[in-house]
Amino acid sequence: MSQKRLADLNACSTNDFVAALANVFEYSPWIAERAAAARPFAGVTQLFEAMTAAVDQAAPERRLALIKAHPDLADKTQRAEGLTAESSGEQNSVGLDRLSDAEYEAFGRVNDAYRAKFGFPYIVCVRRQTKDSILRDFERRLPNDADAEMQRSIEEISRIAALRLDALVTSDDRLKVHGRLSTHVLDTHGGRPAAGIALELVELSDRGAARVVTRAITNADGRTDQPLIHDRPVPIGRYELTFSVGRYFADREVALSDPPFLDRIPLRFSVSEPEGHLHVPLLVTPWSYATYRGS
Amino acid sequence: MSQKRLADLNACSTNDFVAALANVFEYSPWIAERAAAARPFAGVTQLFEAMTAAVDQAAPERRLALIKAHPDLADKTQRAEGLTAESSGEQNSVGLDRLSDAEYEAFGRVNDAYRAKFGFPYIVCVRRQTKDSILRDFERRLPNDADAEMQRSIEEISRIAALRLDALVTSDDRLKVHGRLSTHVLDTHGGRPAAGIALELVELSDRGAARVVTRAITNADGRTDQPLIHDRPVPIGRYELTFSVGRYFADREVALSDPPFLDRIPLRFSVSEPEGHLHVPLLVTPWSYATYRGS
Amino acid sequence: MSQKRLADLNACSTNDFVAALANVFEYSPWIAERAAAARPFAGVTQLFEAMTAAVDQAAPERRLALIKAHPDLADKTQRAEGLTAESSGEQNSVGLDRLSDAEYEAFGRVNDAYRAKFGFPYIVCVRRQTKDSILRDFERRLPNDADAEMQRSIEEISRIAALRLDALVTSDDRLKVHGRLSTHVLDTHGGRPAAGIALELVELSDRGAARVVTRAITNADGRTDQPLIHDRPVPIGRYELTFSVGRYFADREVALSDPPFLDRIPLRFSVSEPEGHLHVPLLVTPWSYATYRGS
Amino acid sequence: MSQKRLADLNACSTNDFVAALANVFEYSPWIAERAAAARPFAGVTQLFEAMTAAVDQAAPERRLALIKAHPDLADKTQRAEGLTAESSGEQNSVGLDRLSDAEYEAFGRVNDAYRAKFGFPYIVCVRRQTKDSILRDFERRLPNDADAEMQRSIEEISRIAALRLDALVTSDDRLKVHGRLSTHVLDTHGGRPAAGIALELVELSDRGAARVVTRAITNADGRTDQPLIHDRPVPIGRYELTFSVGRYFADREVALSDPPFLDRIPLRFSVSEPEGHLHVPLLVTPWSYATYRGS
C-alpha cells in the first residue's frame, strides 16, 4: 500500500479520498466519506479526529456494524478467505500466524466465548499486544456488559485505525502511536560505556516458547545503534533482556573468578505503555549490577 | 554410619580405630592404620593431617592403587555392584543417580577417554561440583600429563576424605569443608527488610533440565531462616535465584504499572569457591533493583 | 556510681533499695519507695515497670513536683550548684557543657519561654538528642497545652530514668534503651569487602560547628571493629559519614583518573529512632557508589 | 572583541588578518603573519593547525620570547598595567581577581619560585583549571628541567590560543575546546524522572572558601534545562553537587522518617578532563541513592 501525502488527500476528489482511506476502519468506507466533507486538514491528527468523530456520531446500529465487520482473532477459516490486507498484516505481527495448535485452541475458545456472550467478535489492537496480554485482556473484558464492550471495542478499533492511518499518510505532524524500548550498558568497573556487549531481547510467554525480538551489540556509547523496539507500539507483555558481560570483562583482562560470578545477566520486566519511552539500562561490574526504569 | 567422638577414637584399640576410619579413603584402611600410630590427636584437623601425611609418604605404587580403588563416575554397571556406601551417597548428591540417557553417555565418554589415556579412573570430589562443572573439569584435565593427574587425583581424594571425616568424627574443631550461600532482600522503596518474599534457587545446566535446590520465604529481617545452602560445600556451578517481588509490592498497595514493571526477578550467578561464604542480596523497589557479591 | 546486681536489690533492706535507686528519677526517692514494696523483680524490665507505675499512679501534684525537680537545660547558674551527678553527666554527653555563647543564649531562650508558658522546666532526654534536635523538639512542643506537656514531660523523664536504671542495675534482661549505628564498605570493583578504608563520623549542626563522633578503619570484613555508635541511644540528628576511597583504590593500583573521580565520599543522613539499629553501607568502585538504609 | 567569520578572514588583506588574530597568541602577531600565508583555510581547525605549526617551526629564541610575553599569574602589579584584554578575562574566570590575601601570597610564591628557577613565567591555561588545580600543577612542574618546561609552556599557550580562537572565529567546524558537566535525577521510588529538585554545584577548595558555580531546578525530564557547565572547558578540580531530595519526597506525600533519613544529598567528585562530557546522575529513593560517572 503506497503512502499518500496529506496535501494530496486534501486536494483530490472525494472518490479518491475515500478509496485511499477506505480500510483505515475495517470494511467501512462510510467513515472516510464523512471525514472527506471536513477537508482540508491541517495535519494527520486533525484528519484522524474527523474520522473518529464520524464514528462517535454514527447511529448505534452503524457502530455495531463496524464492530461486526472485524474478523475473529486467529480464526483459521477466515484466514484463508477474506481478511483485509491490513488486518492480516497486523495479526501476523504478534505471531498469530505462528500459533501452536494449543494456542489456536486457546484463541478459538476466546473468540467463541466472547461472541457467544456479546454477539460480536472480540476486538483488540494486536500490534499493542503480545499473545499473553491478549488472553489477559480477554479474561478481563469477558465479565463486562455489552454497552461497556461496545465502547471498548470502538476504542480498540480507533487504535487500529490510528496505526493504519499513520502508516498510510505522511504529514508534518505524526500521530502518537509509537513507543520506544532502549537500553544502555555502563561499565562501572572501568568508568566508561560498555562497548561490544552482545545482548538479546526475548518476549516471554506463559504459554508456548519465548520469541527472540532482536539481538544487538552495544556501540562505543554503550547503546545500541537503534532502539531495541521503535517506530511502532511496544507490545504490552513480559520481556527478558540478556547481556553477555562475562565475555566483555574477560576480553578486557579483568581479574575474574572461575567460572565468572556474572556471565549472562538477564533483566526481566514488563511493558505496560505501548506508546511510552521505556529505557532499561544496566550498570555493571564483574561483581555487581543494577537496573532501573528510565525514560 | 554413626558418628564417633574424637576422644573415643583417641582411646580405642588400633583395630577399632582402623575399622571406624577404613573408608575415609576409599577401600584403603592402610591410611587409617598409619595414622593410628600418631594418636592422640588434639583435634580432627590434626587427625586429617596425619591421614594425608600417610598418603603423601606412601610409595608411588601405593598411591596409584589408592587412585585405582575409586569407582568410575556414573558407571551404571558398578552402581549395581560394589560402591562403598560413602561413594554412592556422594555421587547421588550431585544428581548422578538421576542422569538422563544423554548425560550417562556424556559421563561414560568422560570415564572412558580418561581411563584410556591415564590407566586410572577420573576422580573428582563430586559434592563440590555440579554436573556441568564436572564435565568442564574433565575437559580441562584430560590434556594434562600423567604425573599432574596423579597429583590432582590425590588432591580430589583428599577432599573426598575430608568431607567423609567431617561427617564421621565429632571434635571441638571442624574441618573447613563447608561453604554457605545466603541472600537478603532489602525493600529500598519502604526503607526496610522485605519480609514474605517467595524465592527459589535453581541450579542451571547447559545440558538437561534446571534443578530446584531450595525454595524459601524471607523472614522479618529480609533473610531466609536458613542459608540457601549451608553445612556442605556449595557446588561449583551456575545458579538462578528468583524473587517474587511483584506480589510483595502489590500486597503493600504500592502503586504499580499493569502489568508490574518488575514481577519475578532472576539473579544468575556462578559459584567458584565451594568452601566460601557467598552472599547475594537484592535491593529492590518496584522500578529498580541491584545485586552484588557480598560476604 | 557502682553497679548493683538485681538479685542484691531484691534481697536488701528497703532503705538500701531506696538509697540505691533514689536518683533514677531526679530527686524523687518516693518512686523507689513505692517500687520496693513490689519486690522481688524477675528482671530489670519488671523493676522499671514498677517504678513507672508508681509515677503513673501518683497524684497530679506529685507528678508536677517530679517535673519541677528537673534542672533547666544548659543553665549556667544551676551548673555551678546543684545538678545531680546523673543529670550533669547526661547534659555533658550531648555537648551542653561546650555550648558557644550564641548557643547558650538559644537554649536560655528555650528555657525561659517554656517556663514562662508552663510554669515548669522544659525536659527532654538529652542522651537521645543532639543540640539541633533539642531546639526542634522545643519548637514543636511550645505550642502544646499544659496537659499535653505534663504528659510529654513524664515520658521524657521515664526515658531518662530507663537509661539511668540500665546503667545502674545488672540483670539477665536488659532495658531496650540502646541503639546502634553501623557501616560496611563493599568494594564492588574487586568483589570483596573493602579493608583499610579510613572513615569519619561527624554530627552536623545548623548552628555552630560539626562535631567528630568517631574515626575508624575498616577491617578485613569491610566493617568497623565496633559499631560507630553502640551501647547507648543513637542521638536524633543529622550526620555525615565520610569514606576515604581514593587512597584505598590508589593503594591497590587500580587505574584512576587524575585527580581521582571519587576521593572522600560523604554520606549525609539523619537518625530518627535512637533505639533502632541503623546500618549505612557503602558499595563503591572508583567510578560509582551507592548507599541505603539497612538494618 | 567582535567575532569574525572564517570566510572573511580568508578573503581579507594580510594586515587585516594579522590585526584580527594578533593576540590569539599573547603579544605575538608574528604567528598570525606566518599563518596568513597558508590561506585559505577549510575550517578553523586548519587555521589553528597553521598557527601552532608556526610556533613549532619558530627558532628557540622566538619560542622563548613567546613564553616571556605572558604575564605572571595573579600579579597585582601587572594587573593595574598592561595585561591584554584576553589575558585579564581568562584570569578572572578562575577567580584570580577575587583571591584572598593568603591566596595572593601563595600564587606569588608560585610565580617567584618558578621564575627564579626557569627565568620565565609559570604559564597554565587557567580556564581549564581551578585555584587548587593550578597550585597542584605548579608543584608537579617545578621539579622539571627547563627543556621540559619550555615544551610544557608551549602546550599551555596553545590551549590558551585555541580558546581565544574559538571565541573569535566562527566557522562550520569547531575546535574541541569545550566540555560539559550534566546531571539527571531519577526517582526510583516512583519510577519516574524527579522534577523540581533544587540542586547546587559548588567548586571546593583546599584553601579558602567553596564557590557556588550554579544553582538549578530539575525539569520534567529530571535534567537541568542547561548542562551545569557547558560551552567552555570544565575546570579541573573538586566539586560538590547537592540535591534537595527531602523536600521533593515530602511534597509528594511519601511516608518519611522524622527527620527524613535523606534530605540534602551531596555528591563529591573531581573533574580531570576539561574537554570531556561528564555526567553525574542521581538515582534516589527516600532510603537509598546511587551515582556513577556517566557520559
Q: Which of D188, D255, D261 has its CB closest to that of B285?
A: D188
D295 reaches A (C-beta below 8 A): yes
Locus of grid cell 547546587: D200
Strands D211-217 and D198-203: antiparallel
Locus of grid cell 475473529: A72
Q: Which residue of C has its CA nearest to B223?
A: C295
ipTM score of the complex?
Answer: 0.92
Q: Look at residue A90 in the predicted model and tell me its pLDDT.
A: 67
Q: Look at residue B102 in the predicted model and tell me its pLDDT.
A: 78
Which of C197, C204, C290, C293 is closest to C240 using CA atoms?
C204
Q: Look at residue A13 in the predicted model and tell me its pLDDT.
A: 96
| Averaged pLDDT of chain D | 92
- What the block records as the C-alpha cell of D158 is 596553545
Q: Look at residue C92 in the predicted model and tell me its pLDDT.
A: 59
Q: Look at residue D231 in the predicted model and tell me its pLDDT.
A: 94
Residue C205 DSSP SS3: coil
C-alpha span between B261 and B189 (Å, rounded): 14
Task: List, for residues C157-166, the tens digit of each pLDDT value.
Answer: 999 999 999 9
Q: Look at residue C93 in the predicted model and tell me its pLDDT.
A: 64
Average pLDDT for D131-155:
95
C-alpha span between D73 and D70 (Å, rounded): 9
> Per the CB < 8 Å rule, is B283 touching D283?
no
Which of D258, C177, C278 is closest to B192 using CA atoms?
C278
Single-letter amino acid code for the residue at B3: Q
| DSSP one-letter code for C183 | -
Q: Look at residue B107 in the predicted model and tell me its pLDDT.
A: 83
Looking at chain D, the whole-number percentage of residues with pLDDT higher than 70 is: 91
C294 reaches A (C-beta below 8 A): no
Peptide bond into C266 cis (omega under 30): no
Q: Mutating which of C203, C254, C262 best tests the D interface, going by the most D Cβ atoms within 10 A?
A: C262
Task: List, for residues A65-101, the tens digit of each pLDDT value.
Answer: 999 999 887 664 455 455 676 766 666 566 666 677 7
Average pLDDT for A272-295:
97
Q: Look at residue A166 in the predicted model and tell me its pLDDT.
A: 97
Task: List, for residues A38-74, the tens digit of each pLDDT value.
Answer: 999 999 999 999 999 999 999 999 999 999 999 887 6
What pTM does this model have?
A: 0.93
Tell me: pLDDT of C188 over 90: yes
Residue D268 burial by Cβ neighbours in a 10 Å radius (0-12, 13-18, 19+): middle
pLDDT grade for D79, boundaries at 50, 70 and 90: low
Contacts 24+ apart (CB under 8 A), B1-6: B1/B85, B1/B86, B1/B167, B1/B168, B3/B167, B3/B168, B3/B169, B3/B170, B4/B168, B4/B169, B4/B170, B5/B169, B5/B170, B5/B171, B6/B41, B6/B43, B6/B44, B6/B47, B6/B169, B6/B170, B6/B171, B6/B172
Residues of chain D found within 8 Å of residue A283, distances taken between Cβ atoms: 290, 292
Q: Look at residue D91 in the predicted model and tell me its pLDDT.
A: 62
For residues B270 and A263, the answer to whether their CB atoms sit within 8 Å is: yes
C-alpha span between A129 and A179 (Å, rounded): 13
Q: Mutating which of D245, D257, D283, D287 best tests the B interface, going by the most B Cβ atoms within 10 A?
A: D287
pLDDT grade for A1, boundaries at 50, 70 and 90: low
> Per the CB < 8 Å rule, is C261 touching D238?
no
Q: Which of C189, C261, C290 has its CB closest to that of A189?
A: C189
Q: Look at residue B77 in the predicted model and tell me its pLDDT.
A: 46
A290 reaches D (C-beta below 8 A): yes
